[in-house]
């Protein structure tokens, strides 16, 4: 499965000079964990995540005595450019979703901007992956049946917990063709032959 098959598009994006309160409102309204920061040509220049946004954004309570310590550190940040991650990790829409998931996990990020020739075309998140994994077996089976009907009509399939159980010709080339086709269907976690 490719990133473009599951990414959210178009992406919610912001300009570097957007006020942090507006960034927080966008994240909240769209129920997203990060937002790409783009220039006027929609080219990726940064990323603001929930973590970037909340770090040092809530003023300390004067009753704790921490206020003086914080005030001595300098001016308050007010814009996306003040907190954004510069040069964030991104993926191509034609990238393998499994590779994007490994990248999110290894980098401890919840989402990645999807960039095509420098332009932000979407966002792929852990939530998008979870959504794919949550697809029901009936929906997966219908997609697989439709896919195989015109290409490999001699196959019977069933789906159990995301695993496609395929029964058909005992030919290794045909099995490999079915495996390649079926693994691209959202929600398929494995293919087994009977």
pLDDT at site 100: 95
Q: What is the mean pLDDT of residues 24-30?
A: 95
Q: Residue 59, Cα to own-chain centre: how many angstroms?
A: 31
Q: Tell me the CATH architecture of domain 3-132.
A: Roll (3.10)
Contact at 8 Å (CB) between 157 and 164? yes
pLDDT digits (tens, 9 = 90+) for 125-163: 999 999 988 999 999 999 999 888 877 778 899 999 999
Nearest alpha carbon to residue 114 among 132, 130, 131, 96:
96
pLDDT at site 194: 86
Q: Which residues contact 136 (CB under 8 A, 6 or more apart)?
A: 187
Q: DSSP H helical segments within 45-90, as ranges?
A: 50-54, 66-71, 80-83
Q: In the Cβ-directed half-sphere of 105, how many Cα atoms lie within 13 Å?
A: 7
Domains of the chain by residue range:
3-132, 135-193
pLDDT at site 155: 87
pLDDT at site 61: 67
pLDDT digits (tens, 9 = 90+) for 81-104: 999 999 899 999 999 999 999 999
Residue 48: strand pairing partners: 35
Q: pTM of the full predicted structure?
A: 0.77
CB atoms under 10 Å from CB of 113, counted, come to: 24
pLDDT band at 23; cut points 50, 70, 90: very high
Backbone φ and ψ of 73, nearest 5°: -80, -15
Out of 3.30.1340, 3.10.180, 1.10.10, 3.40.50, which CATH number does the structure's domain 135-193 have? Answer: 3.30.1340
pLDDT digits (tens, 9 = 90+) for 2-14: 999 999 999 999 9
């Amino acid at each position: 499965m490719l990133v473009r098959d599951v990414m959210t598009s178009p992406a919610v994006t912001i300009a570097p000079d957007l006020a942090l309160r507006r960034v927080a409102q966008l994240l909240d309204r769209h129920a997203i964990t990060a937002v790409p920061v783009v220039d006027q040509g929609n080219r990726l220049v940064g990323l603001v995540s929930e973590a970037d946004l909340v770090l040092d954004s809530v003023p300390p309570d004067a009753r704790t005595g921490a206020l003086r310590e914080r005030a001595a550190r300098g001016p308050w940040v007010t814009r996306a450019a003040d907190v954004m991650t510069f040069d964030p990790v991104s993926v191509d829409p034609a990238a393998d979703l499994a590779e994007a998931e490994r990248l999110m996990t290894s980098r401890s990020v919840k989402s990645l901007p999807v960039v095509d020739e420098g332009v932000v075309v979407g966002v792929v998140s852990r939530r998008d992956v979870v959504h794919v994994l949550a697809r029901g077996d009936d929906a997966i089976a219908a997609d697989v049946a439709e896919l195989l009907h015109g290409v490999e009509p001699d196959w019977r399939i069933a789906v159990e917990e995301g695993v496609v159980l395929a029964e058909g010709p005992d030919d290794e080339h045909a099995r490999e063709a079915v495996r390649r086709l079926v693994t691209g269907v959202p929600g398929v976690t494995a293919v087994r032959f009977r």
